[in-house]
Amino acid sequence: MADRVPFSSALVTGASSGIGEAIVRELGREGLPQVVVARRGERLAALADELPALEILVADLTTADGLERVATRVASTVEPIDLVVNNAGFGTSGAFHTLDADRLDREIGLNVRALTRLSHAALGAMVPRGRGHLLNVSSVVSFQPAPKLAVYAATKSYVTQLTESLHEEVRGTGVHVTALCPGLTRTEFQSVSSSSGYAEQYPEWMWTSAEQVARRGLDDVARNRAISVPGVLYRSMVAATGVLPRGVLRRLSGLVQR
Ligand SMILES: NC(=O)c1ccc[n+]([C@@H]2O[C@H](COP(=O)([O-])OP(=O)(O)OC[C@H]3O[C@@H](n4cnc5c(N)ncnc54)[C@H](OP(=O)(O)O)[C@@H]3O)[C@@H](O)[C@H]2O)c1
């Protein structure tokens, strides 16, 4: 067990950049044994050169084979994983009817199907053990409609809903389940989702760093918070979405995306 983190091992998906990489670096500082998952093996190898005790698992989580290999590793009883971070995800920005349908399928496959399969594998191992942590990376957009990012927002609503339900389901078992819901965070997400131009319209004070998101998520899953929202700005926004009438929220999100 590392000195200052309450986890004995971790598996992080989407560890090759952005928030996932920041989580791996944060845990790596404590020397925690970790399994790092992504498609770009060279990025994971570079990370393993820098940090101790990293096991590399190159996998495309939108393929049956890749997902199965990672689920098997998550469920291992020989080398148990104490913290599973379902972080890999991507978005696609633009008018829904103009977007590539196969890409949207892959987005749902990664953000929804893979996350569900790995959550299932994680809790299947952790609940009988009476210990474990599951951190599912969602988004603040999970709380509101998001025109021009509709499928992404819908997948993240699924993630928040699933994770909150699981948090309640495993209450009292010793297993912690948390949905991490970041706001704007500068990573490769903006270029991958083709939202760089739109995202750059937001002022600097609206951006959180991947490191800030990583620290907050790890602290909150350690404390067994159901929902983790990094940054005062985004916590206030999420609180406001809880009190604004749905119609007002919808029109506001439409205006923001114009
Ligand atoms: N950045 C933001 O503003 C923001 C805000 C809210 C929520 N989020 C969420 O935060 C999470 C991390 O995103 P990020 O911002 O750090 O973006 P990022 O820098 O693009 O990282 C995405 C990670 O997912 C991995 N990945 C993508 N497709 C994959 C696949 N098919 N199989 C396995 N791994 C795959 C990528 O690795 P490879 O390409 O090497 O496979 C990469 O490591 C996502 O779930 C995202 O939705 C981001």
Per-residue pLDDT of 108-137, as tens digits, reads 999 999 999 999 999 999 999 999 999 999
Which two tokens mark 140? Answer: 């603040």
Closest atom, ligand 1, to C-alpha of 66: 32
102: Cα separation from own chain's centroid: 22
Rounded CA gap, 67 and 240, in Å? 37
Cα 157 to Cα 153, 161, 175, 227, 240, distances in angstroms? 6, 6, 22, 12, 17
Pocket test for ligand 1, best of 34, 104, 187, 227 (most atoms within 8 A of CB): 187
Pocket test for ligand 1, best of 11, 19, 37 (most atoms within 8 A of CB): 19
* Cβ–ligand 1 contact at 36 (below 6 Å): no
Listed by start position, the domains of the chain span: 10-256
In which band, very low, low, confident or very high, does the pLDDT at 197 lie, cut at 50, 70 and 90? Answer: confident
| CA nearest ligand 1 atom 7, residue | 139
Rounded CA gap, 130 and 73, in Å? 19
Query: Which residues fall within 8 angstroms of residue 123, CB to CB, at 6 or more apart?
Result: 132, 134, 166, 170, 175, 177
CA atoms lying within 13 Å on the CB side of residue 20: 28
* Cβ–ligand 1 contact at 63 (below 6 Å): no
10-256: CATH number: 3.40.50.720
Which two tokens mark 219? Answer: 């602290």
Rounded CA gap, 198 and 92, in Å? 12
Question: pTM of the prediction?
Answer: 0.97
Higher per-residue confidence, 159 vs 256? 159
Which two tokens mark 204? Answer: 């600097």
Q: How far is the CA of 172 from the centre of ligand 1 (A)?
A: 31
| pLDDT of 1 | 37
Q: How far is the CA of 75 from the centre of ligand 1 (A)?
A: 23
* Cβ–ligand 1 contact at 189 (below 6 Å): yes
| pLDDT of 256 | 74
